[in-house]
Amino acid sequence: MNENTRVNYLSKALLLVGIIFVAGIYPLTILWPSGWAWHGAGQDNYLQMILGVYATLGVFLIIASRNPLEHLSLIWFTVWSSIVHGGIMAVQSITNTHHIGHLWGDVLALFVVAAVLAMLTPRSGAAEAHQATA
């Protein structure tokens, strides 16, 4: 895949992930609480906090989708924070089987987000070369 195609797909992925972070996580906590709501159904302080954090990140990913190469640190933050967050939740899901449904819900989703963004994000040398030709 050439760099122009990669950046184009990255832009689309950032937009999609951003929209899901802004508007998609909350409905998932209602439709599939055992895979998305960690402290049971309904509203609680933890859920409101995590929704606020992800909605904010989503807005910035939508902004980054316009020119991904100018927002590489945000993209890599999203990749690595998704790996760390998903990893912690995976361990918690396995050690507390009450939360095992999360392995197929938000844990898997965070690993998919991290993998897709990592695969599509040009490394610094390729990004610099792409910007020079753009």
**Domain residue extents for the chain:** 3-129
Each residue's pLDDT, cut to its tens digit, for the chain (134 residues) gives 889 999 999 999 999 999 999 999 999 988 988 888 877 655 678 889 999 999 999 999 999 999 999 999 999 999 999 999 999 999 999 999 888 999 999 999 999 999 999 999 998 655 555 555 55
Around Cβ 75, how many Cβ atoms within 10 Å?
A: 23
| Identity of the amino acid at 84 | V
Residue 61, judged by CB atoms within 10 A of its CB (0-12, 13-18, 19+), counts as buried
Around Cβ 90, how many Cβ atoms within 10 Å?
A: 17
What pTM was estimated for this model as a whole? 0.88
Query: How far apart are alpha carbons 77 and 86 in whole angstroms?
Result: 14
